[in-house]
Each structure stands twice: as structure tokens, then as C-alpha cells.
Amino acid sequence: MKIFVQAGDGGKGCISFRREKYVPRGGPDGGDGGKGGDVILKADGQLSTLLDFRYRQHYHAKRGQHGKGKNQEGRSAPDLVLPVPRGTVVRDAETGEILKDLTREGETFVVARGGMGGRGNARFATSIHQAPRHAEPGQAGESCQVRLELKLMADVGIIGYPNAGKSTLISRISAVRPKIADYPFTTLVPNLGVVSFRDQRPFVVADIPGIIQGAHQGAGLGLRFLRHVQRTSLLLHVLDLSVLRPRDPLEDYRILNRELALFDAELARKPQILALNKIDAPESRERLPRIAAHFKRIKKPAYPISGLTGEGLPELLGALARRLAKESVKEA
């Protein structure tokens, strides 16, 4: 989403003179203006989308109050705090430069600073200039146009071709209930679920909409969702072993990994665990030995599962939990 933000202007300094009975030559007593409000982006773990910014693209903080007589300073304006989901990347809308990556809960970024208030005439009084009749105007607040880009925060990214069984899998291992149907691109938005497995630390999985050949150039829903797997620690690659798919599962594996590499070389180097799905079908059982032997030969961990019946899921979840624990040790 692209938004325009305008910080508040500073208040004007006041030109005033003390006028009281029995106080001749009271002197200047104009106060300073207040500071304008900043525009601040704050990471909020309760949010999951940037949808709110679709309906409103312009945000203006309030200006500071003007100074008053009797050396009264104008009140500073409150900051305008805009909550955004964790994982929001803030970019300059013109140059594309990354200004901030908000990944931690409660992390903030001042995207536009409010102007300082102007000084009142009391500030300019000196021994030789005892009655100044000028004050400063408040500084203008900063303004800019930024682009907000959301990259989901998840431990495991579930990837695979459309209809490989990703949505069925995440519905079995978490409380998420995504739309499931027998046509491609049923999943149009990423789904996040929390997985609790025995005594292991709970982890977050993201069901990424189907990736197809040419995704790195925008084919299918590629460019919209490939970035969501960039933050994950581990990729769970779901392969469809059923004969209803005309392509060979090994060819699907090669094509999808090539798309990851073309989109982001670092992404292709992330550790992967393979889920050989739909083994509940007799035809898939016949394919399984050949596919499993191939991954064993190239030393890739592969687990036969059925998202429909739940067969093999405990072994897969155990492998995911152990690998995540190992990755967390590396990062530490």
C-alpha cells in the first residue's frame, strides 16, 4: 500500500508585552509555540493485513499550538501513531529504498517528524534590545510518500504447486480453516496457523498460495506471495504424488526450486523438508518408492503423509520441530 503522511507544523511564537498596573516597562513576555505531532508507524502483532490503508491513504498529524502572552508556551501536538502488522517493510515510494523493517512487537519508526515551535519575543530580549517586536514562525512538519509492504512472520512456509494439499495440511495441524476445493488457486491469501506438537515449542506455519512456473515474473500469484516465504526459517515443500497431476512430482520439485532461486538466491538456500502428500491413494503408494529413493539419494529429508487421513503427520511435525530448534540455535 502507498500512503502519504504529513507531520504537524510547529506553533508560532507569540509577540506580547507585560502590561500590569504599577509595573512600568514590563517587557516582552511572548511564549514559544508548541511542537507539531510526529507520524509514527508501530508494529502490532494483533494485525495481519494492510487492509486499513486501502480505504485511507492520507494521514496528517496536528500542528502545535501557538505561544501566548505571560510566557505561556503553546501545547505540543500529540503524535499520530499508525499501527501496522509485524513484518511490514517501509520503503520510499519514489526510490524504493528500505527505510525500516518492523519485525519486533511494539517496534516504532518515525516516518515524518513534526516541526519545532517558533520562539516568542521574550527569547530575543537583550540589554540593548529590550522590546523586541518579532517572533519566529513554527517550522513546517515533514511530509513524504511511503510504500508499505507486508512480509509475513512465520517459522515455516508451506510451499507447493496449486492443489498439492497445502490448505488441507494446515487445517490438520492447526486451527486454521482455509477454503479447500478441487480447483487451482483456491487459496488467494496466505493463512497463518500455530502448531502445538507434544512437548515441543509451538511454531507458526504459513500456507502460501500456489507457486507455478514463471512465478518470479508474476505468473499466477507469484510476485504477490513469494516475498512471504523470505522471512521463514524453514520451508515445507508439499509434493502431490497422485496421478491426477499430469507432471512428475520430481519435475514439480525442480521447477519450484528454480522459481525460488530466480526470485531470491538466498531464499533457495533455506533448509527444506519435503512432504510427499496424498499417499492415501493406491496410485500414490506405487509412486512413493521411486520418489522417496530419489530424495534419499540427494540427502533431502522427505516424509510420506496424507493430509486427508493424517497418516505420517506426527513424524513430519516432529521433524519440523527438531529442525526449527536447530535453526534457532544457529541464529543465537
- Interval 83-99 mean pLDDT: 92
- Interval 151-167 mean pLDDT: 81
Domains identified in the chain, total number: 2
Q: In DSSP terms, which residues pair with 207 in a beta bridge? A: 158, 191
pLDDT tens string 18-30: 988 888 878 999 9
Highest mean pLDDT among 160-164, 248-252, 262-266: 248-252
Helix, strand, coil abundance in the chain, percent, nearest 5 = 25, 25, 50
Residues 8 and 146 in one domain: yes
% of the chain with per-residue pLDDT over 90? 46
pLDDT tens string 279-319: 988 888 888 999 999 999 999 999 999 988 999 999 999 99
Residues 180 and 236 in one domain: yes
Q: In DSSP terms, which residues pair with 83 in a beta bridge? A: 42
Residue 244 scores a pLDDT above 80: no
Q: CATH number for the domain including 232?
A: 3.40.50.300
What is the domain extent for residue 206?
156-331
Residues 234 and 285 in one domain: yes
Output DSSP code: residue 106. Answer: T
Distance CA 66, CA 63 (A): 9
pLDDT at 222: 42
Residues 256 and 281 in one domain: yes
Residue 326 is which amino acid? Answer: K
Here the cell at position 178 is 482455509
Distance CA 172, CA 158 (A): 13
Residue 185 scores a pLDDT above 60: no
pLDDT band at 219 (very low <50, low <70, confident <90, very high): very low
pLDDT at 230: 76
Residue whose C-alpha cell is 501566548: 68
Distance CA 180, CA 183 (A): 9
pLDDT tens string 260-276: 888 778 888 889 999 99
Parallel, antiparallel or unpaired: strands 302-304 and 272-277? parallel
Distance CA 183, CA 134 (A): 73
Distance CA 253, CA 274 (A): 9
Q: CATH number for the domain including 120?
A: 2.70.210.12
Mean pLDDT (the chain, rounded): 85
